[in-house]
């Protein structure tokens, strides 16, 4: 058995593309998804991969997942954070969080923090956070859960900025942290929308989006040969510079830590 690759959002889109790539290479792939339908798809398309079902928008289920992965996989070579869903309207999770914030921010922080120990045992460990790095989002400090004025794009852009800040705040002597913006990839972006917008988004995706098969190789290259620097950011295969304030990063990481701690139960 080769390396151990853990992929959240690993049953569709880029996630399942990476699962297929590494399973075919002989690595041990653990794909995490929220639905049994996704699990069936994974088993049909990538039968060598291991499916783990978990609601990644739940803090408590994510903590249980981290404990399970740490127990079953003593060394984890790569953690790919790919779980994402665009929500046109505001959704409140059972734990009281705005869904995009829970999935795009809390889950990714919990996974990276919780798997420090098994990742530290791998020869060249790397975290790849698939996000909108470099898109110019901002944190709504006065309304993190977007209760006052929700828009799907606002939630998504805040999540992208959160990834930049949490990447900056993540410190580890051995684990490299990669922020990777795949830009427009032909995935299931159209699914949350109602008709006729759903059909329009699907048509635009078919015309202009990059196929998953082309999006996978540059991401795999960063997993196979992690950058030397602790944190790097990429837009497609081009490295980019980020304007991230270290003080804001520390403040945001502490805020996320407190929110996650308060919801445990």
Taking CA 47 as the corner, what is the angle to CA 44 and CA 53, rounded to the nearest 5 degrees?
A: 80
Choose among 50, 35, 40: nearest CA to 5.
Answer: 50
What is the DSSP secondary-structure string of 103-168?
IIIIHHHHHHHHTHHHHHTSSS-EEEEES-TTS-----TT-TT--SS--HHHHHHHHHHHHHHHHH
DSSP 11: T
Per-residue model confidence (pLDDT) at position 74: 95
For the stretch 47-60, pLDDT in tens is 999 999 999 999 99
Does residue 191 register a pLDDT over 70? no
Cβ neighbours of 260 (radius 10 Å): 22
Check: pTM over 0.85? Answer yes or no.
yes
Does residue 150 register a pLDDT over 70? yes
Per-residue model confidence (pLDDT) at position 1: 63
């Amino acid at each position: 058995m080769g390396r151990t690759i853990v992929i959240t959002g690993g049953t569709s889109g880029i996630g399942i593309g990476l699962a297929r790539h590494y399973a075919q290479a002989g690595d041990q792939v653990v794909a995490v998804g929220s639905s049994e339908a996704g699990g069936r798809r994974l088993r049909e398309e990538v039968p060598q991969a291991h499916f783990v079902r978990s609601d990644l928008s739940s803090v408590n289920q994510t903590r249980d997942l981290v404990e399970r992965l740490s127990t079953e996989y003593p060394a984890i070579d790569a953690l790919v954070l790919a779980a994402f869903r665009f929500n046109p309207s505001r959704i409140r999770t059972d734990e009281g969080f705005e869904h995009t914030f829970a999935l795009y921010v809390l889950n990714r922080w919990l996974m990276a923090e919780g798997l420090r120990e098994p990742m530290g045992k791998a020869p060249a460990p790397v975290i790849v956070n698939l996000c909108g790095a470099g898109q110019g989002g901002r944190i709504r400090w006065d309304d993190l859960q977007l209760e006052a004025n929700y828009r799907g794009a606002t939630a998504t852009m805040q999540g992208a900025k959160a990834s930049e800040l949490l990447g900056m705040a993540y410190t580890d002597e051995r684990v490299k942290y990669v922020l990777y913006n795949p830009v427009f990839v032909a995935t299931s972006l159209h699914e949350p929308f109602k008709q006729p917008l759903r059909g329009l988004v699907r048509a635009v995706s078919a015309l202009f989006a990059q196929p998953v098969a082309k999006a996978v190789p540059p991401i795999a290259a960063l997993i196979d040969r992690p950058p030397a620097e602790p944190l790097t950011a990429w837009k497609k295969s081009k490295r980019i510079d980020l304007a991230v304030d270290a003080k804001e990063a520390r403040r945001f990481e502490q805020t996320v830590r407190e929110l996650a701690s308060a919801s445990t139960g």
